[in-house]
Structure 1
Amino acid sequence: MLDTATRIHRKHILSIQSAVSKVCVHEPEKALPPPPPASSQAALEHGTIQTVPIGYIRSCFSVKNGTPRQPTVCGPSRAELRLKQSVFNNPDHALLGLEQYSHVWVIFLFHKNGHLSYKAKVKPPRLNGQKVGVYSTRSPHRPNALGLTLAKLDKIHGDTLHLSDIDMIEGTPVLDVKPYIPEYDSPCTRMSIDCRSCPSSADQSDSTSLSPNQPTEALLNVKESGVKSVADTPNVDGCQFPNSLTMPGDTLAMLEEVKAYLSQSDFNQGSGDRKRRASDLQGAEQDQRPCYREESYSTIAGWIRAPPVASLEVRFTPHAERQLAEFLPTEQSGPPESDRPRFKFLHSSQEATAAIRGVLSADPRSVYRRTRCKDKLFFFTLDSADITCWFGQGFVEVLQVRPVQHPIDSTYKM
């Protein structure tokens, strides 16, 4: 159907071009508007940019089918990104200092979007056919086919980044790499930083200032500091620390119980016993304290955490387990064995099993496959293995794991 529609569209375009050319022959030439500024700065100010990939992904996923939709679905998934020398004369210089970070943001292009069509409403597979706005999802089918992944940075070797926890396929063009900084990118971390920067009650002579980084020491000093009631505890307006004594409502009653416990404890024991008791108190305090600040600061759509599509139980047939055990890890010492297949990214058959479970438990099938092709076999490729499985009611079973017939090309696209 798509091929037919494409041919019809091409015929319409050719007929329109032919009609326009005939009209232009009989009409006098008109002055054309001046072309837009050719400088890159002017183009950038008008929102027109020409992106140049800084490199291409080498991934354990060679095709779209079976590739995780989110990086957290399959932890053992691995990839490599080598920077192009056409972008930097010394690519390794551009990576200097990046090894100090554990995670990086990878901005890339969805280069396998097919006909590049997009709609205002989409049907995420996680919603099982329900429609939502495209900008409320991570759908690859969008006006600008840009992708964003938070990947784990395992190591840097020269001009190559070794990544894991990825959801990108082989040959993905990468536009940029940025370090992940929790203080800037995590709302929960921002919350704690904002609380520390709130005006302290230390300026008031009749109040007790408590450090948010030492909540338990402050609890231990309640008896010794002369605070006789909960009403005497400090209160900082607009900044309620979950780890300090400045808490409203029900938490104050809990603090009274903590103070009663402390008054019955022996403070003459060694520092080791005090620290152990303080750790126990802090754990009990965190278990009972409501997390009112975090939930009000960061919220997400309910279907993200509780989707209509349930997680599936993943099973392996004995035949598939034996086939998977035949694969050698990527870093196997000793002479290579030609009669046994070898992984290119995965470090062991156990890691491959975990990766397969992660991919299949999230149900990688499209809505069409779930409804119209639910009795068909499902195939996908992981690293150098072709996996065949079938889906039942609430479970998926791996039938066989065979080496790929055409291994992933080890050369980089430049």
Structure 2
Amino acid sequence: MSPLCQCCGDTVRQLKQQVSVMRREIKNLRQMLDSATRANRKHMLSLQSALSKIGVSEKKDIQAPSPSSSSPSATLEQGSIQTVPIGYITSCFSAKNGTPRQPTVCGPSRAKLRIQHSVFNNPEHALVGLEQYSHVWVIFLFHKNGHLSYKAKVKPPRLNGQRVGVYSTRSPHRPNALGLTLAKLDGIVGDTVHLSGIDMIAGTPVLDIKPFIPDYDSPKTRTCMDLADCDTNKTETVSVESNISNICNDFDPPSNSRDKTTCFDNWECQLPQDGSEVENPLINPPDLLTNSAVPEDIHSALQEVKVYVKQLEMQQSHSQALDSPLSKALALSADRPSFGEEVYSTIAGWIREPPVGRLEVRFTPHAERELAGFLPATQPEHTESVRPRFKFLRSHTEAVAAVTGVLSADPRSVYRRTRCTDRLFFFTLDTADITCWFGQDFAEVVQVKPVDI
């Protein structure tokens, strides 16, 4: 193949430059189209919100499909529902920046959820009995996602920019922007639920709350309970059979009495044949200890056996408490189906391998004095006091613990952690605006001031 002449080479270079320019232009057009789409969606949402506030009936024309077009049952069968928030969160976090990514990261973080009267005529009736639980599941909407676009793969902060499927993460950017939080239930006052250990910002719409039940929600707890029930039934059956055989072997009846087998006919006939619940015959023998026909030496021997069985059962229950669930699962796997495999539930390795370890949190002397200047939420208000006041945090110690909990988990995004290491970080906690900076394995709070209202 002959080499290209100089004229042809110039032409090829010009064409390549033009193709490169066209690609950049196409990319810019796509970005402009995406921006216009997001802006249009944002304007539509703001319009719907404005119409809902003034109660204009034309709102029904904006939303699709119309409720009259299909019955509610048909809509549910098709998997299409219209959610109605039962209330909105009032939280110590007012913005996404600095809010924990997961619950329980910041234990002192508190929130309140007031059930709306538009959902129930008597909202407090819907909360009756909930005070018996220590934790609740909160199902909510990620209402601050910005644009509504989502992708099949996302970049969790712990993977430092690597992509993984959205359904293997708890990313808020998903087709249905639903969030799930396990929160501690601090109390219920009327129609208001008080929560702590939360990761939701103020104004979060809540769709539902459900009680947390370890027996059902924790695989390990379910397995331990199942194994305990099985061990109890198995131990009772084995102890009854073995002790009966031991008594028959040790008992040497007189020549004029019945043989060993018929000796306990009346006893064994009272044991259910299907293995159902049974009262231990060695502890409360039905007829042998009260039968006047039983010789006195047999009566005393059975009394000794009764004491021995009680001691044996106490020892067995103590040893069972010390046994690990793993050994119980292995011992029972050949006898009956069990959920022992749930003990070995696994998670993705990157969940427990954060890119940044737990950070040490420091306060400058100036920041400590500023934080100490805030009044706790529990202190009675005084009109003459000009000091700032917390709405949720109940003490200075709790405020320090809350700030430490947020910063020790490194709330920065991957971009901030890799590209903006020399910049200050700002977040809001309760009524305090906090300024800090990050160094090697530590975070330092440099300023704490009241929120500008």
Establish whether TM, by shorter chain, passes 0.5. yes
Aligned-partner Cα distance in 2 for 1:39–1:157: 37
* 2:362 maps to 1:315: yes
Given that 1:103 and 1:180 are in contact with CA atoms closer than 8 Å, whether structure 2 keeps it comes out as yes
* 2:355 maps to 1:335: no
RCO higher in structure (CA 8 A, sep ≥6): 1
Aligned-partner Cα distance in 2 for 1:62–1:167: 11
Aligned-partner Cα distance in 2 for 1:395–1:290: 44
Query: Matched residue of 2:82: which SS?
Result: coil
**Closer/same/farther in 2, CA of residues 405 and 286 from structure 1, 3 Å limit:** same
Aligned twin of 1:242: none
Larger deviation: 291-300 or 341-350? 291-300
* 2:135 maps to 1:103: yes
Aligned twin of 1:133: 165
* 2:193 maps to 1:166: no
Aligned twin of 2:90: 58
**Which residue, 107, 111, 115 being the options, matches 2:147?**
115
**Which residue, 436, 440, 444 being the options, matches 1:397?**
444
**Closer/same/farther in 2, CA of residues 8 and 326 from structure 1, 3 Å limit:** closer
**Closer/same/farther in 2, CA of residues 45 and 368 from structure 1, 3 Å limit:** same
Cα deviation per residue 1:136-171 (whole Å; 9 max; x = unaligned)? 111100010000001111010000001000000000
Aligned twin of 2:423: 376
Aligned twin of 2:101: 69
**Which residue, 362, 373, 393 being the options, matches 2:409?**
362
Aligned-partner Cα distance in 1 for 2:92–2:401: 14
Aligned twin of 2:116: 84
1:223-372 equivalent positions in 2, closer than 5 A: 296-333=343-380, 335-372=382-419
Percent identity over the alignment?
69
Given that 1:314 and 1:395 are in contact with CA atoms closer than 8 Å, whether structure 2 keeps it comes out as yes
* Paired letter, 2:134: S
Q: What is the CA distance between 1:359 and its match in structure 2?
A: 0.4
Runs of at least 5 residues in structure 1 that lack an aligned partner in the other structure: 14-34, 210-225, 227-274, 407-414
* Paired letter, 2:210: K
1:145-184 equivalent positions in 2, closer than 5 A: 145-184=177-216
**Closer/same/farther in 2, CA of residues 371 and 5 from structure 1, 3 Å limit:** farther
Aligned-partner Cα distance in 1 for 2:328–2:361: 36
Runs of at least 5 residues in structure 2 that lack an aligned partner in the other structure: 1-27, 42-66, 244-249, 251-313, 331-339
Q: What is the CA distance between 1:303 and its match in structure 2?
A: 1.8
Q: What is the CA distance between 1:173 and its match in structure 2?
A: 0.2
**Which residue, 430, 434, 440 being the options, matches 1:387?**
434
Larger Rg: 2
Larger deviation: 305-314 or 396-405? 305-314
Give the structure with the higher percent helix: 2
Aligned-partner Cα distance in 2 for 1:206–1:282: 18
Aligned twin of 1:44: 76
Aligned-partner Cα distance in 2 for 1:345–1:94: 25
Count of aligned pairs between the two proteins:
321
Given that 1:128 and 1:309 are in contact with CA atoms closer than 8 Å, whether structure 2 keeps it comes out as no
Q: What is the CA distance between 1:126 and its match in structure 2?
A: 1.9
Q: What is the CA distance between 1:291 and its match in structure 2?
A: 9.9
Cα deviation per residue 1:9-53 (whole Å; 9 max; x = unaligned)? 58999xxxxxxxxxxxxxxxxxxxxx9951111100000000000
Given that 1:187 and 1:297 are in contact with CA atoms closer than 8 Å, whether structure 2 keeps it comes out as no
Aligned twin of 1:219: none
Query: Matched residue of 1:198: which SS?
Result: helix
Given that 1:188 and 1:294 are in contact with CA atoms closer than 8 Å, whether structure 2 keeps it comes out as no
Aligned-partner Cα distance in 2 for 1:51–1:353: 38
Cα deviation per residue 1:341-386 (whole Å; 9 max; x = unaligned)? 0000000111011011110011101111111111110000000000
Aligned twin of 2:174: 142
Q: What is the CA distance between 1:307 and its match in structure 2?
A: 2.2
Aligned-partner Cα distance in 2 for 1:64–1:11: 21
Aligned-partner Cα distance in 2 for 1:395–1:11: 39
Q: What is the CA distance between 1:121 and its match in structure 2?
A: 1.1
Q: What is the CA distance between 1:338 and its match in structure 2?
A: 3.1
Aligned-partner Cα distance in 2 for 1:104–1:11: 37
Given that 2:359 and 2:408 are in contact with CA atoms closer than 8 Å, whether structure 1 keeps it comes out as yes
**Closer/same/farther in 2, CA of residues 102 and 310 from structure 1, 3 Å limit:** same
**Closer/same/farther in 2, CA of residues 360 and 191 from structure 1, 3 Å limit:** same
Aligned twin of 2:9: none
Aligned-partner Cα distance in 2 for 1:11–1:366: 24
Q: Tell me the C-alpha RMSD between the 2 structures.
A: 3.4
Given that 1:312 and 1:362 are in contact with CA atoms closer than 8 Å, whether structure 2 keeps it comes out as yes
Given that 1:127 and 1:309 are in contact with CA atoms closer than 8 Å, whether structure 2 keeps it comes out as no
* Paired letter, 2:208: D
Aligned-partner Cα distance in 1 for 2:325–2:127: 42
* Paired letter, 1:72: T
Question: Structure 1-normalised TM-score?
Answer: 0.70
**Closer/same/farther in 2, CA of residues 184 and 393 from structure 1, 3 Å limit:** same
